[in-house]
Amino acid sequence: MIELREVSKKYGRGAVGADAVSMTVEPGNIVALFGPSGSGKTTILHMIGLLLKPDSGEVIIEGDRVDNLPESALADVRRNRLGFVFQSFGLIPLLSAEENVEVAMRLLGRGGPTAKAAVTSALERVGIDHRARHRPGEMSGGEQQRVALARALVHGPQVILADEPTGELDTATATYVLDMLRSVARSGTVVVLATHDPLALEFVDEAFFVRDGTLHRPDRGELQLWLTEGEGDLATE
Ligand SMILES: Nc1ncnc2c1ncn2[C@@H]1O[C@H](COP(=O)(O)OP(=O)(O)OP(=O)(O)O)[C@@H](O)[C@H]1O
Ligand SMILES: [Mg+2]
């Protein structure tokens, strides 16, 4: 389970990244942060991902408060307990799909046959094992995103954070990746997405709406309209 308690973050020049954001996500669940550009979605994701330190408030992962740990311990939590997926995949161009996934295990100091088996199983899990020897440049966007997902889950993280994971994918591929993320969540992981993709609404257990750094729980119908009708105004409580 992850929990944010009244988490706030201000950037220089007064830009508000997050304003007293509280949320809880149970293992097995996938949730999405929707909201206008600049509203604070990535900021919230990065605070959960321990890439950004909140000014105040608490970040709790599986009962452990993690936001106030020293940097070396933060790095440990990031590597061991978290997995990241980005819009632009972030794969290393010269490495094959399986080598890209292997890197995540090496960073944890895990090697040998057990690590190798974990890599193969992660690639199988996202249905990309038939491209194991291909480099990113030899794969479609959707295939690359599946490799990136395999890399994010190979070490069995408790939380997967995905920032605009379908931003560069067509509808069919985006649907596949979202379905994948949901099934990863169902296996007992927490999955949190930041997204503009209306498709994501069908795949998430809870949809949050972020505006000026504050978190809202909108009516699904209204959110759907907001997403499909050019992101105008949306009534929140
Ligand atoms: N490193 C930074 N320094 C200063 N201000 C920042 C920084 N990162 C984000 N901001 C500001 O904080 C606010 C929230 O940004 P954030 O990136 O979280 O938005 P977002 O909802 O992810 O937007 P998008 O949909 O465009 O990705 C914005 O006003 C942004 O300009
Ligand atoms: Mg963002």
Q: Quick one: tokens of 59? A: 């970040």
Distance of CA 120 to the CA centre of its chain: 22
Contacts of 127 (CB under 8 A, 6+ apart): 146, 180
pLDDT band at 111 (very low <50, low <70, confident <90, very high): confident
Ramachandran sector of residue 17 (left: φ over 0; alpha: ψ -120 to 50; beta: rest): alpha
Pick the residue whose CA is nearest to atom 16 on ligand 1.
40
- CB-based contact 85:152 (threshold 8 Å): yes
Using a 10 angstrom Cβ sphere, with 0-12 exposed, 13-18 middle and 19 or more buried, the burial of residue 193 is buried
pTM metric for this prediction = 0.95
Ligand 1-lining residues (CB < 6 angstroms): 11-12, 15, 17, 35, 37-43, 194
Q: Quick one: tokens of 66? A: 């993690």
| Cα 110 from Cα 125, distance rounded (Å) | 20
Which residue among 7, 10, 13, 42 has the greatest number of ligand 1 atoms within 8 angstroms of its CB, and so is best to mutate? Answer: 42
User: Of the ligands numbered here, which is closest to the C-alpha atom of 33?
Assistant: 1
pLDDT band at 231 (very low <50, low <70, confident <90, very high): low
CA of 143 to the centre of ligand 1 (A): 29
User: Of the ligands numbered here, which is closest to the C-alpha atom of 210?
Assistant: 1
- Specify the residue for token string 């009962």: 63
| Cα 210 from Cα 36, distance rounded (Å) | 7
Using one digit for the tens of pLDDT, what is the confidence trace for 128-156?
999 999 999 999 999 999 999 999 999 99
Pick the residue whose CA is nearest to atom 3 on ligand 1.
11
- CB-based contact 48:194 (threshold 8 Å): no
State the architecture of 2-228 in CATH terms.
3-Layer(aba) Sandwich (3.40)
CA of 38 to the centre of ligand 1 (A): 5
The average confidence (pLDDT) of the chain is 95
Which pLDDT does position 237 carry in this prediction? 57
| Cα 184 from Cα 195, distance rounded (Å) | 18
CA of 132 to the centre of ligand 1 (A): 35
CA of 46 to the centre of ligand 1 (A): 11
* Sign of torsion over alpha carbons 226, 44, 194, 182: negative
Using one digit for the tens of pLDDT, what is the confidence trace for 33-58?
999 999 999 999 999 999 999 999 99
Pick the residue whose CA is nearest to atom 30 on ligand 1.
38
* Domain boundaries of the chain, sorted by first residue: 2-228
Pick the residue whose CA is nearest to atom 26 on ligand 1.
37
